[in-house]
Chains A and B, each alone.
Chain A
């Protein structure tokens, strides 16, 4: 390997590592706040990439139909769960809160011309349609079982992933999408050129991380979320609504997924089932951080990206096997670092 190849590999590794970091951050936010292991995080990536890709290919994606359908069910549940004498009021509130946005999305879906939206319109529409999937998923699936243990929550998360895999195939078909680079420029650096896509991924990743840092460190809402992550009961006692915290966590995860999806679609072909493996690599990064540390998870994601780039260079057929096997040494180290099991929650 010479310097040029090494630099190319580092460029590849940083790019995919940044994507995995965004996924890992979404997983960590959701896990620390809700104790849910968000297996379907990768599906946000897929749905976003395929929605955006479909727009670029000149057809309107039907993602908004799914959002609207889920929102109708959620509004219906809200009404059914309200006290009988307040149902009408609840129905009105629920309709406004939950159905207005999907209605707008549906109007755009059925009356707008994708080409007329322009690149930025397409990106905005993609984010606008994918992000609501997060809170809706929380409302419909996880909120009703918020007091369950980690294990049933995990099994349900896997079930949601399976169902979304099927829905993705139904909505987008089995063809992959690859979108045009968003930045067509490239900068020479020594013997290689840094492509615009790479700069965009790194820049967006850094901006997203800075944004999260400011949100969690500086805003009251962010601090409330951290309080919930630290002690849900204590947070509830001081007036933080845990259900709302869950919804915001899912919203952030979906937003990170949506951004990653748009970025990823310009550097690789995305199929309806690509999200799973991308999400899995994000998981490995999150495990490096012990499902608790944000900086370690980001660092871990970059390491995963590098391992992937290296294994793609040396033996591309076994690339995924090598990356996934990296989990074993990570777990060995975590085992050695682990405390006693004594304070683990009982399953019963």
Chain B
């Protein structure tokens, strides 16, 4: 499994490269190191997207490299392919393996993926080592080099160009991808599945995209490795290698493409540095050092080297999305006809074990009206809200949104019908700018996918999305903070951003979950102003709220819940005068 002292010598033989005895090998030694660092950076770039951005992880990237390397070696040695012609097949094999593994793990909660990748990487390693047709433990030698138009990439310096051209291309395209619709969707995975699904981002498919992307970069790295070393045995693809690949991005900074490069440079140089310190060449010292470094690093901070630089010098953060002076408008939904029923709950009931949280709830929200769902703490408002938005399933009853039955449907169903929501506990992506957070709301109004994102074929649509997000932000009075990271705002403005993000989805009905909870007086007034503006524009809203004063001047109609059931329903003045409402709110008069 792990490298034993009696393993075959390092394929590069770089341990035997002694500077003092053979001065001429110095440059080649450093170039070789740089080549290997580039290959490691390429794997790291995949992990930046998977771990740093999507919040998933894999210890099996070396196994993907191994699949590509063995495919290439097999095709070039035994089937007469040129290395360049073999590359598409290598990537295809890797993509298929990643799709298979992803299909069985990515529907499960996040920690199943890393454990499965450990098991899977170990299995693949044993397979390489046992299959005699792939050379077994002894390996395969004499793999032909890459040649383009007669130019052979044979030395460390030639390969340096090939490898680092791939690394730079990967960095540039990754930065393009991160600033695209798919990139934002992958970012959104970090905010939890409910957030993503609520804006129509399919969690499973987006995870699969990130996983396959990372696997393909690892595959490219594996192909480069075998074409550079031109000898192949299973050791470079063992589980320790897969673990080191992850350590690369942890040390360099998992959230930044340059973090992969920095981490790869550090970890590639570390064995030689340690050798200089300890005087020995023991792999076990390296392992102990890797382990201790990672433990200390993750105990203190989880942002890595480039992350620390970015925190100190904001220039490292990179520019935010630019808002164009003019852009084509995004497609918009027709405004609902007056009198159309947008939300209809019929005899909805929900039990948690023996506790009945919602019983026999029926009410409607029609076009152009603002309805407040109020009640004291524990009345079942939030449960009702979860049932409407699909975050939870009702035990019985029926919920209809815009004429479609959504009883027990997934959270994605509501947004596809044009019903968008905010969250009681703010769910913003703290590292992204306010503008990008709001653009997530418009996810379903765009079409461009991962390939357009990688190669910047999405600029027209992106401009429209940015312009739309900016329009909503300016209207909410957030125009001056839209390029700040969302995490840097106070709670009040964050709530406004939540509402703005929901508006950016071009909803026909807006569902707001306790938007005023925890806000200070001035912040409540700002929020009330935004909601007043919405009412004037005729945007239908269902507002779940605890604070009665806040909703009184705002809503057309109130539905009052108590102990899971509807207490009364009516215009604010009538509800305010209702003795039963006063009783439940004030605890009753003895």
Contacts and interface: CB of A to CB of B under 8 A. Distances in A.
Interface of A: 37, 39, 141, 144-145, 148, 150-152, 154-156, 158-167, 169-170, 174, 273, 276-277, 280, 283-284, 287, 291, 317-318, 320-321, 324-325, 327-328, 331-332, 334-335, 338, 340-348
A162 B243 contact: yes
B116 A151 contact: no
Residues of B in contact with A, size category: 35 or more
Given A154-B114, A335-B108, A342-B391, A321 B123 contact: yes
Contacts of B6: 174
Contact of B108 (A150, A169, A283, A334): A334
Interface in B97-125: 100, 104-105, 107-112, 114-116, 118-120, 122-123
Contacts of A325: 123
B290 A163 contact: yes
Interface stretch (B190-198, B331-339, B539-547): B190-198
Interface string B77-112: 000000000000000000000001000110111111
Contact of B287 (A148, A163, A291, A348): A163
Nearest to B240: A162
Interface in B291-334: 291-295, 298-299, 302
A174 B298 contact: no
A325 B100 CA distance: 12
A145 B299 contact: yes
Nearest to A316: B130
B237 to A, nearest CB: 14
25 contacts: A37-B114, A150-B111, A152-B298, A155-B294, A158-B59, A158-B243, A159-B292, A160-B295, A163-B287, A166-B283, A169-B282, A273-B1, A276-B2, A280-B122, A283-B119, A284-B119, A291-B111, A318-B126, A318-B127, A320-B123, A324-B119, A324-B120, A340-B410, A347-B189, A347-B190
A287 B107 contact: no
Contacts of B284: 165-167, 169-170
B247 interface: yes
A37 B115 contact: yes
Contact of A159 (B2, B108, B290): B290
* Residue of A39, A156, A332, A342 with most chain B CB atoms under a 10 A cut-off: A342
Contacts of B285: 166, 170
B193 A344 contact: yes
Interface in B269-297: 282-288, 290-295
B267 interface: no
A170 B282 CA distance: 9
A156 B294 contact: yes
Contacts, number: 175
B108 A155 contact: no
B5 interface: yes
A153 to B, nearest CB: 9
Contacts of B295: 141, 156, 159-160, 163
Contacts of B110: 150-151, 344, 347
Contacts of B447: none
Contacts of A160: 291, 295
B438 to A, nearest CB: 17
B555 interface: no
Contacts of A151: 51, 55, 57, 110-111, 114
B250 interface: yes
A159 B126 contact: no
B49 interface: no
Interface of B: 1-2, 4-6, 51, 55, 57, 59, 100, 104-105, 107-112, 114-116, 118-120, 122-123, 126-127, 130, 189-195, 197, 203-204, 239-240, 243, 246-247, 250, 282-288, 290-295, 298-299, 302, 391, 410-411, 427, 429-431
Nearest to A327: B119
A324 B1 CA distance: 14
Given A151-B55, A276-B2, A280-B122, A327 B116 contact: yes
For the residues of B in contact with A, the DSSP-based class is helix
Contacts of A343: 194
The 4 closest A-B pairs by CB, nearest first: A163-B291, A347-B55, A166-B287, A346-B192
A324 B193 contact: no
Contacts of B204: 341
Nearest to A334: B108
B104 A345 contact: no
Given A155-B246, A348-B55, A348-B429, A320 B122 contact: yes
B298 A277 contact: no
B302 A321 contact: no
Contacts of A165: 2, 284, 287
Contacts of B299: 141, 144-145, 156
Nearest to B429: A348
Contacts of B115: 37, 283, 287
B298 A145 contact: yes
B291 A159 contact: yes
A39 to B, nearest CB: 7
A224 to B, nearest CB: 23
A152 B243 contact: no
A331 to B, nearest CB: 4
Nearest to B123: A324
A331 B1 CA distance: 24
Given A273-B1, A348-B430, A341 B193 contact: yes
A302 B282 CA distance: 38
Contacts of B239: 276
B247 A159 contact: yes
A283 B295 CA distance: 22
A158 B57 CA distance: 12
Given A170-B288, A318-B126, A37 B111 contact: yes
Contacts of A340: 193, 410
B235 to A, nearest CB: 13
A304 to B, nearest CB: 11
Contacts of B114: 37, 151, 154
A66 B197 CA distance: 49
B111 A162 contact: no
Contacts of A283: 115, 118-119
Contacts of B292: 159, 163
B108 A338 contact: yes
B104 A280 contact: no
A189 B210 CA distance: 55
B312 to A, nearest CB: 21
A141 B296 CA distance: 8
B2 A273 contact: yes
Nearest to A320: B126
A321 B126 contact: yes
A166 B292 CA distance: 11
Nearest to A315: B130
Contacts of A347: 55, 110, 189-190, 192
* Residue of B126, B239, B286, B430 with most chain A CB atoms under a 10 A cut-off: B126
Nearest to B411: A342
A338 B203 CA distance: 14
Contacts of A331: 104-105, 108, 112, 116
A332 B197 CA distance: 22
A324 B125 CA distance: 11
B129 to A, nearest CB: 9
A163 B286 CA distance: 9
Contacts of B119: 280, 283-284, 324, 327
A305 B300 CA distance: 40
